[in-house]
Amino acid sequence: MFRLRNSVCHMCRQNFLPVISARRTSKRQISMDFQGRPQFRRRTEREKVQWIKDNFPQVFKKIDISVRETLRCVDKLPVFHGEYNYFWKFDSEQKLEDWVVTSDSDNKQGFSRAFLALSRNKRALFYGNLSTEVPKDGELTRAGYVQLRSPVNPGVRQTHDWSDFTHLVIRMRGDGRTYGLGLQKNYKKSHAFDMAMGLTANDQYHYPLFTRGGPYWQVAKIPFSKFYLSHKGTVQDKQAPMNISEVAFLCFNLMDNVDGPFNLEIDYIALLKDANHEEKHAYELYDLQDHVVSAY
């Protein structure tokens, strides 16, 4: 027999933390913590039982993956020069289920539409229509945004460790548009104060993904050292290399201010190790005064 990690038990317990009730909550049920944030009532026993009935398959899947991670050998096999790891291979409908597609129309902030389906070639097809028309609500001034985001790791370790590799390789067929490729770091381990103030939750590393407008497939090989730090879409003057050992998710963004249909067909997303690539970070670092320009 073996014992599960403490994180597995914590994963099961965290589902019974205080939640916001869908019903109206009286003032007596709400208390304030030391930071002034509302603390809502805990689930009742009946609600806990109902939650287990509704979500048992998902929780069991996480526990199953956690057990596999526990039984797996701790020491990773070495990765050699020129070795590929095909991380996502889109060859069936099942491979597309957990990917998340969003657009500005989902939040009533625009009229763009985006979809994800399996193409005739058995590849992932990200398609839709981009619209820069601004809703007449008197608040928004810009619109036109769609995104395709990778699924979050369902195991206890909710990040991907890509530290053994140097390049991200994508085989795709585009429409001539320039997409944005983003890597989200593990913001859950950020400083508690930063998370409370929302300082680092919107930090992402980006790099442009140029596509050809023809019928031929292309392979983009992007070094991780080329990704630059941005905060809410604004490139930061204070740059730092990304910690590739804790990648939360990968995403494709399109917001090029060009109205019309778009389509991006993706065959696979792989990782490559190039022992000849020694660059750590491709961008200069400027000497700035403290608290002048920084995403932190």
164 touches 273 (CB < 8 A): yes
Q: Which domains are seen in the chain, by residue range?
A: 6-71 (no CATH), 84-272 (2.60.120.260)
Please tell me the least confidently modeled range out of 65-74, 112-121, 267-276.
65-74
pLDDT tens, 129-150? Answer: 999 999 988 888 889 999 999 9
pLDDT tens, 85-130? Answer: 999 999 999 999 889 999 999 988 999 999 999 999 999 999 999 9
Residue 162 has pLDDT above 50, yes or no: yes
The DSSP line for the chain is -----HHHHHHHHGGGS----SS---GGG-EE-TTS-EEPPPPPHHHHHHHHHHHHHHHHHHHHHHHHHHHS-SSPPP--TT-EEEEEE--SGGGGTT-EEEEGGGGTS---EEEEEE-TTSSEEEEEEE--PPPSSSS------EEEEPPPP-SSS-SB--TT--EEEEEEE--S-EEEEEEEE-GGGS-HHHHHHTSSTTEEEEEEEE--SSSS-EEEEEEGGG-EEEETTEEPSS-----TT-EEEEEEEE--S--EEEEEEEEEEEEE--TT---S--S------TTTS---
| Token output for 114 | 């985006």
In the Cβ-directed half-sphere of 132, how many Cα atoms lie within 13 Å?
8
| Token output for 39 | 């603390």
The pLDDT of residue 188 is 58
- Quick one: what percent of the chain has pLDDT higher than 70? 70
